[in-house]
């Protein structure tokens, strides 16, 4: 049985729609039930799901614009 880490290298190259397609293919092979999937398919499904979650958790890039100095209380009032 291959290591789960072996599948991570394969799924890193896929874009998000391809990851969703691969996940759907794996689930369709098991008729939607995880229990009927072989261990290799479960390992690949784990890698695909992990990569999807990792990409969804990436925060948007922040701009390099510096924050302006806060106004002091006297100028606000």
Tens of pLDDT, residue by residue over 28-37, are 988 878 888 8
3 state SS for 7-73: HHHHHHCCCHHHHHHHHHHHHHHCCCCHHHCCHHHHHHHHHHHHHHHHHHCCCCCCCCCCCCCCCCH
Of all residues in the chain, the percent with pLDDT exceeding 90 is 23
Domain ranges of the chain: 4-56
CA 6 to CA 47: how far, in whole Å?
9
Please check whether residue 33 is in contact with residue 71, taking contact to mean a CB–CB distance below 8 angstroms: no
pLDDT at residue 77, as a whole number = 64
- Per residue in 26-61, pLDDT (tens digit) is 989 888 788 888 888 888 899 999 999 998 887 666
Structural contact between residues 2 and 43, judged by C-beta atoms closer than 8 angstroms? yes
């Amino acid at each position: 049985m291959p290591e789960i880490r072996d599948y991570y290298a394969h799924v890193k190259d896929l874009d998000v729609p391809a990851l969703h397609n691969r996940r759907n293919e794996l689930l369709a092979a098991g008729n939607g039930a995880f229990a009927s999937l072989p261990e290799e398919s479960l390992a690949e499904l784990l890698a695909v799901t992990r990569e999807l979650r990792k990409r969804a958790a990436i925060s948007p890039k922040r701009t390099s614009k510096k924050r302006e100095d806060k106004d002091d209380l006297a100028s606000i009032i």
